Amino acid sequence: MKNLCIIPARGGSKRIPRKNIKDFLGKPIIAYSIEAALRSGLFEEVMVSTDDQEIADVAMQYGASVPFMRSAETANDFATTKNVLDEVLARYQQLGKSFDAMCCIYATAPLIATQDVIDAYNRLMQSDFSCVYPIVLFSYPIWRCLDVVEDGSMMRHWPEYENSRSQDLPKTYHDTGTFYWYKLSQNAIMPGKLGAIIVPEERVQDIDTETDWKLAEIKYQLQNAKQA
């Protein structure tokens, strides 16, 4: 199997400036994603899709390739991750390179575990799923969520669960937002069934604010303290 890892990392991050190469406990945060991909041993190529030369230089310093720069169309605030992936796959097709599977790993995923990348790949290959990615249990039952109306009052979205015990409510999960594995056909993402692996909450943290960043650092340090 020929597998490609794509790490999207544009230069125009707004909420945390220069987010993708900001120092995270001693090295640029993108380095953690690159290193996790390389450690897995699954990829023919680990590439970074960026429009920023500084990001490209950092990516190559940590072992990724940057065979071409991202276009202006996929580097603006409105481009989706799928737009980026489709562009990268099309560029490789033009270069005469094709792949059987692709993993998109986000540049700000320092808590990513290499074993999770491997486990998700194995599930993808051993199933009829076209896509597999990690999910995590909601920390609080969503069945107890509240709606706030215009006058400031609130009501239960699902009043039928008001008196249910938490342990009796169905478990619900959300996407970790760290990586996604896809099967490919002629360098295009195949449609089909979605699959998942479940990961623990300590390996998941959105990083959209400075507070998020600090929480991610704390979780990373706690993980490494356990492993020491």
39 found inside a domain: yes
Per-residue pLDDT reduced to its tens digit, 209-218: 999 999 999 9
163 found inside a domain: no
Per-residue pLDDT reduced to its tens digit, 33-59: 999 999 999 999 999 999 999 999 999
47 found inside a domain: yes
pLDDT at residue 12 tops 90: no
144 found inside a domain: no
Which residue range forms the structural domain that includes residue 41? 3-136+172-227
DSSP letter for each residue of 144-182: G-EEE-TTS-EEESSGGGTT--GGGSPP-EEE-SSEEEE
Alpha-carbon dihedral 209, 205, 125, 31, rounded to 10 degrees: 60
pLDDT at residue 227 tops 90: no
177 found inside a domain: yes
Per-residue pLDDT reduced to its tens digit, 72-110: 999 988 899 999 999 999 999 999 999 999 999 999 999
What one-character DSSP code corresponds to residue 110? T
The number of folded domains in the chain is: 1
155 found inside a domain: no
37, 80 in Cβ contact below 8 A? no
Distances (CA, A) of 167 to 76, 120, 172: 44, 28, 12
**pTM reported for the whole predicted model:** 0.94
Q: Give the tokens for residue 118.
A: 């491997």
Q: Give me the pLDDT at residue 228, please.
A: 61
Per-residue pLDDT reduced to its tens digit, 113-167: 999 999 999 999 999 999 999 999 999 999 999 999 989 999 999 999 999 998 9
Distances (CA, A) of 163 to 140, 146, 154, 223: 15, 14, 17, 36
pLDDT at residue 226 tops 80: no
74 found inside a domain: yes
Q: What is the CATH number of the domain that holds 28?
A: 3.90.550.10
Q: Give the tokens for residue 50.
A: 């960026």
143 found inside a domain: no
